[in-house]
Chain A
């Protein structure tokens, strides 16, 4: 007798009725099967329907969407597509779920114990003490130190990685047959990501747990899963063992997706993209922009920007107004410089202080000690004056991480782009500034007519293009990009990075690129600085740093990045 698969989906179809009566098919005829102990990855870009498949399994499809066809079986038992329950199958007991963001999936007002045990008390009928004992056991199993103390903690007292471990413990609490993990490591740093993926791999092997791993990261797929389903616009376009699908992709989309992943092993001139936006019109617009005189610069030689002994303390407020509480050193004696036309990468895990450095350079945070010089003039810290800051402001422009939060939703895109042009008096009047805005839009590969629209009409990638156009509008010398592509799909990321590359080459821009994605940094940067706990631990030219890292931390970071070329050994 063969063992029933942990999960078997046949011909799943999910529809969302639209206002006008037509129907959006989010998932169309998807079938997949996961054996006990197997990790099956579902990959695709945002909107491909991979999360919808996961939500269909756990009965969390948002109204008015509904499952209109196909069957789902958990360990052989049929699921009711409406309630997400079935014969002897109970959500939370037989299907465990892990969500993407561990920061928001635990309720901030309840203790870890209460959130861990409530599932067991409802599904297994355990008493308070039994549930507590089992919770301790689970916390041990997922590798949380001091489990007794952690039970009485609240979620905010745990780090992101620990929270995700708690979520995994809760998912495993009733010995499920299937674990549905929706982007379980996307919100985590590489080192934590490696630990969590390791944990999931071990749990699957030891407990015979079927795992459906929804992800957009091809490296994670290669290192964790045994089989994979590639989704495109609601359909499964390719399916099979990871080694086959990633090794010799058959479908053109899979090939495109793989090619768009930034390479880690060597540096390419450009990212491979399925269709390139660098057509004639954009090229012409870029040449017009490149021909302009950017913000004034002295004839001095020397670096464009230098940071000297920069230290930033964040202090909590004391109990008397004006007094100071305990401090926290975010940036500790950091020094570096960027030559004209150079691309410098700043990498490190979250909380290492890289964004604080960018904020000081951009004038958003005041340093505690040290200074920043732009073109030989102090612009932050000792010696900086209102005058020197003002003169540098136009030359330093910033692109932020979240394209949804960095554009004012109540302003038309044209007005957003014309604003810096008018502010720095780069156009004589509003009409000219708006004309300039159109040119900027063309330069970043959008249409001039789109200036009339509001930001909500654009996708994340398009919004980030608008952010770039806005930064270029001020005719800067130095562009600070803080995680410009971390919220975007790989193919969009590739297009956007190409765009930044082309624009900086055309206009002679200097770039400071802040990222936690080492592959991106490798592809983009001439020189890289690695930060850990507020300090720069290693700084070298990109090729040497990646081929022969000298510091242990750099070495560790590099070894932890999930890579496509390392396909899981346990297939």
Chain B
């Protein structure tokens, strides 16, 4: 297990170096920051001074070294747009996105897994066929359409739920949470459903396919041949086997959700990372864009590592192979 973790950590470092390099290249090649930052009528001498102040006159490799050093210390520079440290901006926006993604993931698992199992156990029933057909709609409708339709129905027509923002939040140290207030929870409903819809479909279809596969396997036939009750076979034995790939996919999808959240956050004006990024793009706010890139890289890499660890805990074959 320790060896598995070490080998993973090594790979994580490699990947993060590559991502940092890409972030650095963004700084260097997407426009000249000196031109962006200085006044339009600045003289050549003023520009050179600024360049030296920013450390942009050093050789590329030195600049990269400094960049890596700064990033490692958590210094992601200042936002061009509102002249505040990017790290602080991200810390402010992070809870909103993570809470949204967490709720969406739980929703996807809690709805997707039972539906998938149901469809696998009754592959020819009319109900599971209709669920399958409806799920096709879920997988092919773009997120922004779902979001807008939900807003139209539940906020505009029925006036049940708020259509934008996070509602009231409670501060817990640097973290802000919407879980503790009614308005915060009500605000979570529509965006999390919007974000989860695609995942529900994906997980349902995955569980269904895996479950069908497992149910026809020898060890399940053997469990039947031993006269074990079918409820026990399905819920305790087969489900565990069928959920193995769900771990991988859920892990990857959490990463993707954070990225997909851009669209949902824009539709619902959700004050999270995605909205921050979209605003940064429209203002060519390079430090924020680079930081977002680094952040998504860190998230993906960490989640993947966690998935590997969880997998090793659940699957005994991997546990001993690592020893």
Contact = CB atoms under 8 A, between A and B. Distances in A.
B317 interface: yes
Interface in B254-298: none
B222 A109 contact: no
Of listed B218, B232, B240, B320, residue having the most chain A CB within 10 A: B218
A122 B228 contact: yes
A119 interface: yes
Interface string A94-118: 0101010100111111110000001
Nearest to A154: B316
A101 B320 contact: no
Contact of B229 (A95, A122, A321): A122
Q: Name the prevailing secondary structure of the A interface residues.
A: loop
Nearest to B11: A321
Given A107-B241, A319-B3, A320-B7, A119 B222 contact: no
Given A122-B228, A154-B317, A105 B7 contact: no
Contacts of A252: none
Contacts of B4: 319
Of listed B4, B6, B226, B320, residue having the most chain A CB within 10 A: B226
A105 B228 contact: no
B228 A92 contact: yes
B160 interface: no
Contact of B222 (A95, A105, A123, A319): A105
A111 B228 CA distance: 17
Given A104-B219, A109-B316, A58 B7 contact: no
A118 B316 contact: no
Given A92-B225, A92-B227, A106 B219 contact: yes
Interface residues of A, number: 32
A167 B237 CA distance: 17
A31 interface: no
Interface string B209-240: 00000000111111111111100100001001
A318 B315 CA distance: 20
B241 A319 contact: no
B6 A110 contact: no
B316 A122 contact: no
B222 A106 contact: yes
Given A92-B227, A97-B226, A60 B316 contact: no
**6 A-B pairs closest in CB distance:** A92-B227, A91-B227, A319-B7, A92-B226, A104-B218, A154-B316
Interface of B: 3-4, 6-7, 10-11, 217-229, 232, 237, 240-241, 244, 314-317, 320
22 contacts: A60-B224, A91-B225, A91-B226, A92-B228, A97-B222, A97-B226, A99-B221, A99-B222, A105-B222, A106-B219, A107-B220, A107-B241, A109-B314, A118-B226, A118-B228, A118-B232, A119-B228, A122-B228, A122-B229, A156-B317, A319-B3, A321-B11
Interface of A: 58, 60, 90-93, 95, 97, 99, 101, 104-111, 118-119, 122-123, 154, 156-157, 167, 170-171, 318-321
